[in-house]
Each structure stands twice: as C-alpha cells, then as structure tokens.
Amino acid sequence: MLRLERRRQSSRIMFWTTPLIAVALTLIIGGILFAILGVNPFAAMKIIFLDPFFHETYGPYSRTQFLVKAVPLILIATGLSVGFRAGIWNIGAEGQFVMGAIAGAAVGLALYPAEGWWVLPLMAIVGALGGFLWAMIPAILKIKFNANEILVSLMLVYVSYNFLAAMVTGPLKNPDGFGFPDSRNFTDVEATTLPLLYEPLGLYTSGVVALIIVIAAYILMEKHLLGFQVKVTGQSPRAAKFSGVKPALIIAMCLGLSGALAGLAGLFEVTGPAGKLTTNFPVGYGFTAIIVAFLGRLHPIGIIIAGLLMALTYIGGELAQLVLNLPAPAIQVFQGIMLFSILAVEVFINYRLVWKKEAV
C-alpha cells in the first residue's frame, strides 16, 4: 500500500520545486474545471497566461493593468509572510487594506483641495497607521486573552466593509456626487494623485515603494536578529521562549507590520487606480495575497514572482470572462485551486510516498 513516511530531514529540492508542481497541478485541475463549464481548456489557458501580453487587440490595455494588480499583492503578501513565518496567521489583511484606504482618504478629503508635496506622503503615513491599528485589535486580543487571530482578523474584514459603506454614505460622501455612495475623486487634485511613472505596464510610484519594502523585508528576515527571532518562533515556540524571545512582541510586530503594509496598499489603490472610495472598493487583494505569500515560499524574492503570476491570472481572468463568457467565480475558483495545490504538495517537503506490503 502507498503510505506517507516522514523524511529524516526536510527535502530542499521539494521546498523549491513545490511552487512549480503546484502551478502545474493548478493548470491540470483548472483545465478540467473549464472543460466541465464547456470551455476549451487550452484556449482558456492561452487567454489567461499569454493574451494579456501578446494579443494585438487586448494586449496593450491588459499590459497597463499588470503592475496595477501585482504591486498591492506583493506589498500585502510581504507583510503577511513575516507573520506566517512566525506562526501568526493574519487572515484579515483585506480589512486592513480597506481601513488604511479609509484613514488615508479621510486626510486627503479633510485637506481638499489643498496642494503641496506633503499631502500624499501624509495620506500614506495615516493609511499605514489605519491598517496598523486595525491589525492591533487581533494582536491585543491574542496577547491578552489568547484569542484566535485567524477568526478575529477575518471577522474584522466584514466590520471594515460596513464601516466603508457608512463612510461613503456619510462623512466622506462626495457633496457634489448627486447622492451616489462614493467620495470625491482624488485624481482631480494633483496633490492627492499617485504619480504614474510608466503607463505601458501600469507602474505607479507605489511599485518603487513596494520594491524598497521587499528589499527591507529580505534584510530583516535574513540579516537581522529580529528576523531570526521570528523564524525561531515559527519553528519552535518553546525554544524561542527559553532563548529570551518575547512572544507578545513578536505577535504585535508581525500583525502590526502586515496591517501597516496592507493599509499602505489600500491608500495607494484609492489614490491611484481606483481614484476614489466606493462601496465596491474592496477587490479581494487581502485574500489573494495569502496565495501569493505561500506560492512565493514566504520569501521576499519569491513573493515578487508569485505576485506577478497572480496578477496575470487577474487580468487574464478578466479577458477570459470577456472572450469566453466564463463566469467570474470560475476564475476565483481557479486562483483558489492554486492555494490548495500548494498546501497539498507541501506535505512532500517533510513526507514521502512509499510502497509497503501489508503483512499477511
């Protein structure tokens, strides 16, 4: 019989090849899903992964959305990966993304229509602070009462949705918006508009900030004592505690950092591609970033690659909906299959399949 047998030591080969295997598995299972829906799986894969760059008609516009989708995923996933490596599971980055956008947008609206180079940086700081404070709710509850941060952070996502609806129909509502539930358009004022650096790929200044943060995360995790403490906490909490690591500090740092980066991503989204707050502002980046973090092996460099790949499924998925009439949930399921594939294949890092005959 085939059985799982624990390896004497973790396989380094499997550690680095599991993302590739997971992607291949996703293509196979996704292809079967598309076939069941009556769509040619090869045509669907071509549209999702190739047409956004190479199609003569759709390519030029799709390319402008590539980094627009990738940057927030990379930014959020980088923050999440630090906590995940410590065994701290922030599943509510979507709520922190929304709250960061609301907090930063409130500053811009309060100063409207003020001009000045300092307005956008101030909005960014407050946006990061908004995400940080929202993430500190599950952090404090975990530290003080050992509450499950998965459940608390996830439930707070839906609180943030309702808070957003209350804001865009109340204090942050556009006074010139004819009653529609949205805020003023931030792109109408230069001081609150995120600068676009390279339009053909949708590169805003947020892309440069994200790259700096990824480099800083790499230095933190690989070269700094705090990063070592984070990894030890994730691998052996008891050993970390005996060595002098303070669990409360690690919990607060990991949740606070992931919340701040999610909030910053939300502020960049509202001052750039989205342009304003609406009830439809949440787009699921906080949830999708979880897939990006795991697909990138919780490593900053891997997260960049995974973020670009996931962005491709976003814009390719939109094309597939347009060209092949695929339902939007089918693309979401396709992305979800990738996460389950990663989790399934990861078993083989520490285990292997062996054939054993049963004793008669």
Mean local confidence (pLDDT), 38-47: 92
Q: Is the pLDDT of residue 115 over 70?
A: yes
Distance, CA of 230 to CA of 64 (rounded, Å): 37
Whether pLDDT at 95 is above 70: yes
Strands (E), the chain: 2-6, 196-198, 203-204, 351-355
At residue 54 the predicted structure's pLDDT band, cuts being 50, 70 and 90, is confident
pLDDT per residue as tens digits for the range 136-174: 999 999 999 999 999 999 999 999 999 999 999 999 999
Please state, for a pLDDT cut of 70, what percent of the chain lies above it: 99
What was the pLDDT predicted at 358? 61
Cis before 195? omega within 30 = no
Q: Token digits for 272?
A: 């750039």
pLDDT band at residue 114 under the 50/70/90 scheme: confident
Residue range 175-191: mean pLDDT, rounded: 89
**Average pLDDT score over residue span 103-124:** 93
In three-state secondary structure terms, 176 is coil
Neighbours of 327 (CB within 10 A): 11
* pLDDT band of 2, cuts 50, 70, 90: confident
Rounded distance between C-alpha atoms, residue 212 and residue 218, angstroms: 10
Q: What are the tokens at 266?
A: 């939300």
Spatial separation of the C-alpha atoms in residues 35 and 33, rounded to whole Å:
5
Over residues 242-271, the mean pLDDT reads 94
At 359, is the pLDDT very low, low, confident or very high (cuts 50, 70, 90)?
low
3-class secondary-structure state, position 182? strand
The residues pairing with 278 across neighbouring beta strands, listed in sequence order, are 182
Lowest mean pLDDT among 53-62, 224-233, 283-292: 53-62
Q: Which range among 19-33, 247-261, 346-360 shows the weakest confidence by mean pLDDT?
A: 346-360
Q: What confidence tier does 13 reach under pLDDT thresholds 50, 70, 90? A: confident
Higher pLDDT, 5 or 270: 270
| Domain range annotation of the chain | 73-199+214-284+293-300
User: How far apart, in whole angstroms, are the C-alpha atoms of residue 151 and residue 149?
Assistant: 6
Angstrom distance (rounded) from CA 133 to CA 259: 8
Residue corresponding to tokens 């291949």: 24
Q: What pLDDT digit, counting tens, does each position of 74-85 carry?
A: 999 999 999 999
Determine whether 168 is exposed, middle or buried from the number of CB atoms within 10 Å of its CB (0-12, 13-18, 19+): buried
Could you tell me which residues come within 8 angstroms of residue 320 by beta carbon, excluding any fewer than 6 positions away?
44, 47, 48, 326, 331
Q: What is the pLDDT of residue 186?
A: 92
- Residues 166 and 90: their CA atoms lie apart, in Å, by 25
State residue 357's pLDDT score: 67
Predicted confidence (pLDDT) at residue 239 exceeds the cutoff of 90: no
- Average pLDDT of the residues in 183-189: 91
* Pair 216, 142: CB distance under 8 Å: no
* pLDDT on residue 279: 92
* pLDDT averaged over every residue in the chain: 91
What was the pLDDT predicted at 17?
Answer: 87
What is the chain's alpha carbon radius of gyration, rounded to the nearest angstrom?
22
C-alpha closest to that of 26 among 313, 284, 293: 313
Helix pair 93-111, 285-295: axis angle to 10 deg? 130
Does 360 have pLDDT greater than 60?
no
pLDDT of residue 344: 87
Residue 211's alpha-carbon distances to 67, 207, 294, 301, in angstroms, are 12, 6, 19, 10
pLDDT of 82: 95
Percent of the chain whose predicted confidence (pLDDT) is above 90: 66
CB–CB of 296/305 below 8 Å? yes
Confidence of residue 348 (pLDDT cuts 50, 70, 90): confident
Q: Name the β-bridge partners of 360.
A: none
